[in-house]
Amino acid sequence: MTRSLLAVAYRRPSVLESAADGRRLGLETSRGATPTGTADHPRFFAGFLTSPQAASAGLLAVADVAAARYYQRQLRASLDPVVTGNGDRLRLESFSGCGGVYARLDVLTAGLDGDEVGHGTTNVDVNNPLREALSRIGTDDPLHLRVGPDELAVTTLDGPVVEKKVPLPDRWLRGFAESQVIAAGFDLRAELPAAEAVRFLRALPKAGARGASGGPRWLVPSGRGLRPTSRAVPGAVCLPGPERLVALQRALRHATALRVYGPTVGAGSAATASAWELVLPGMRLTLTLSPDTSRGFSGEGGVLDALATDEAAEDAELVSVLLAWEPRIDITDLAAASGLTAERVRAALVRLGTSGRVGYDTAEAAYFHRELPYDSARVERHNPRLRSARELVAAGAVALDGTVGTVTAEDGHVHRVRDEAGVLSCTCLWWAKYRGGRGPCKHALAVRMVRRGAAAERGAGTGMATARVDRGAR
């Protein structure tokens, strides 16, 4: 696993303090992206939280996931959450150290009472003393929130005084990309009222001694709740590793509903990812789970098709300059502004997701703009299947014959890739094991690259090349 050491610097530790008008929560920011460029310590919000206890519990839940490993629990992981200001809301996101759980707290307009919310993305310091203080927030305590340095800190402090150094694995970054691609295929499967949500979540099993729960569970809507089923059936949702929902317990007593999202499944379907959203007063807390406790999002392969085309790279470059930290990215508007089709805009957004520049909100079925504060461009470079597919293409190992592609692998083995209604299958062991459930194998990816390249050459040769948008106005 490729890792680098990430240094995250803050002017001072985040702290919860008492004041004459209640409690004051100061969340310190690190270096991040804003509409005016990179800023050392951007400021996104100052004002009151309308539901202090629920907001504190939600923030702690996101921090719990950032510090957790749900697989191989003996290893520790801790990365400060990411905060994004989207103009009308604040989003706090984290990813588990094992790469299998994505958490996000959306503090919406109704949850904020204060200044306008700024625009941008950075890390936010959540330290152990702050966690202990937040857990003691009382029911009657007004809570003033400041995200970013206060005015005094801006004018009097020079340089960072707090620095954290943490390992940043490539698979963690790839997980951010894959989880949003997978979530884009989810639909709402069930909505449980508060009482049923409490009953259901409190009845879930705890993790065993080795951190495993005995495999995924299948659930189907039944009345106002969910009932278990022995296998996948139409309308069912998968709960892979139920112990990974433990972070929701933090905010459970403030919940007004539990919404469950998942992909369409049929009889006998394999385990799938799913998203579990607690609806809180003025907020939403969402956990997205990978298909298995031992299986992180990084290997799902959902982004590979978008990464494999030069067209998507050029489209992503164009679409990126049109983004402005929107809380909801309107694909129709982007298509009109860019001159691209809606399909190409979606592919461009997937590609931008590989560098952390967009996320996906299941509750609103829409992408949103953010810029992860990491060197995420390496995700594409270090994706092993994508790298291997490009090497096969460069070596001339791919031959096309109608709907069949023949790939001669590095070891001399010949693999045949078939295209049936746009779905590729391969004779390699990867395909035999996963049947396309984790994205295309390197051979199918190489065939798709060559086929697209041949189609582009035919279009250019007949004067039917895709029209390019005039980018001079950028």
Please spell the DSSP secondary structure of 402-469, one letter per residue.
Answer: TTEEEEE-TTS-EEEEEEETTEEEESSHHHHHHTTBTB--HHHHHHHHHHHHHHHHHHHHTT-PPPPP
- How far is it, in rounded angstroms, from Cα 241 to Cα 210? 12
Parallel/antiparallel/unpaired status of strands 119-123 and 143-147? unpaired
Do 8 and 80 meet the contact criterion of CB atoms below 8 Å apart? yes
- How far is it, in rounded angstroms, from Cα 50 to Cα 52? 6
Longest dimension (CA), the chain: 77
pLDDT tens digits, 168-199: 776 777 777 788 888 988 999 999 999 999 99
Per-residue confidence (pLDDT) for residue 466, from 0 to 100? 37
Burial 213-236 (b: 16+ CB within 10 A, else e): beebbbbbbeeebbeeeeebeeeb
Q: What are phi and psi of 289, to 5 degrees?
A: -110, 135
Per-residue confidence (pLDDT) for residue 458, from 0 to 100? 54
Per-residue confidence (pLDDT) for residue 381, from 0 to 100? 62
Residue 15, beta-bridge partner list? 26
Q: How far is CA 242 from CA 70, 135, 160, in A?
A: 11, 24, 40
Per-residue confidence (pLDDT) for residue 439, from 0 to 100? 72
> Which parts of 290-410 are beta strand (E)?
358-361, 366-369, 398-401, 404-408
Give the helix ranges, DSSP H, for 38-169: 52-66, 128-134, 151-156
Cα 79–83–84 angle (5° rounding)? 145
Cα torsion through 355, 356, 361, 366, rounded to 10: -50
Do 169 and 5 meet the contact criterion of CB atoms below 8 Å apart? no
- How many residues can be counted in the chain? 474
Low-confidence ranges of the chain (pLDDT < 70): 1-4, 73-78, 140, 151-160, 170, 207-214, 298-310, 375-382, 436-437, 454-474
Tokens linked to 354: 């590989």
Q: How far is CA 401 from CA 289, 413, 416, 443, in A?
A: 40, 18, 10, 15
- How far is it, in rounded angstroms, from Cα 255 to Cα 276? 12
Do 228 and 217 meet the contact criterion of CB atoms below 8 Å apart? yes
How many CA atoms does the CB half-sphere of 354 hold within 13 Å?
27
- How far is it, in rounded angstroms, from Cα 207 to Cα 210? 8
- How far is it, in rounded angstroms, from Cα 316 to Cα 303? 13
- How far is it, in rounded angstroms, from Cα 181 to Cα 38? 26
The class (CATH top level) of 180-207+214-297 is alpha beta
CATH 3.10.150 positions along the chain are 180-207+214-297
Q: Measure CA 32 to chain center.
A: 18
- How far is it, in rounded angstroms, from Cα 271 to Cα 193? 26
Tokens linked to 316: 């992503």
Per-residue confidence (pLDDT) for residue 215, from 0 to 100? 72
Q: What are phi and psi of 259, to 5 degrees?
A: -110, 140
Residues 6+ apart with CB under 8 A from 365: none
Q: What are phi and psi of 223, to 5 degrees?
A: 65, -125
- Which of 348, 154, 365, 189 has the alpha carbon at shortest distance from 273? 189
> Which parts of 281-388 are beta strand (E)?
283-289, 358-361, 366-369
